[in-house]
Structure 1
Amino acid sequence: MSTKKCWRLTVRDEFSSGHALRHYEGKCENLHGHNFGVELTVQGEELLPDTELLLDFKVLKQALKQTLEALDHRVLNETPPFDRINPSSENLARHIWRQVEARLASSPDPQAQKVRLVSVAVSEKGRQTATYMEWDA
Structure 2
Amino acid sequence: MKIIRITKLFSFETGHALFGYDGKCRNVHGHSYKLSVTVIGHPIQDNTNVKFGMVIDFSDLKKIVKEEIVEVFDHATVFNKNTPHVELAKELEERGHNVLLVDYQPTSEMMVIDFSEKIKKRLPDNIKLHSLKLQETETSFAEWYASDNE
TM-score (ref. length: structure 1): 0.83
1:100 aligned to 119, 129, 143, which one?
Answer: 119
Identity of aligned residues (%): 29
Could you say which residue in structure 2 is the equivalent of 1:76? Answer: 78
| Structure 1 residues not aligned, in runs of 5+ | 105-111
Deviation at 1:46, TM superposition (A): 4.4
Deviation at 1:126, TM superposition (A): 2.6
In the aligned structure 2, how far is the partner of 1:95 from the partner of 1:48? Answer: 33
In the aligned structure 2, how far is the partner of 1:59 from the partner of 1:121? Answer: 19
Deviation at 1:52, TM superposition (A): 1.2
In the aligned structure 1, how far is the partner of 2:24 from the partner of 2:120? Answer: 33
Determine whether 1:115 maps to 2:116: no
TM-score (ref. length: structure 2): 0.76
Q: Which amino acid aligns with 1:103?
A: R
In the aligned structure 2, how far is the partner of 1:46 from the partner of 1:54? Answer: 4
Q: Which amino acid aligns with 1:85?
A: Y
| Structure 2 residues not aligned, in runs of 5+ | 80-98
Determine whether 1:59 maps to 2:60: yes
Could you say which residue in structure 2 is the equivalent of 1:44? Answer: 41
Could you say which residue in structure 1 is the equivalent of 2:9? Answer: 12
Larger Rg: 2
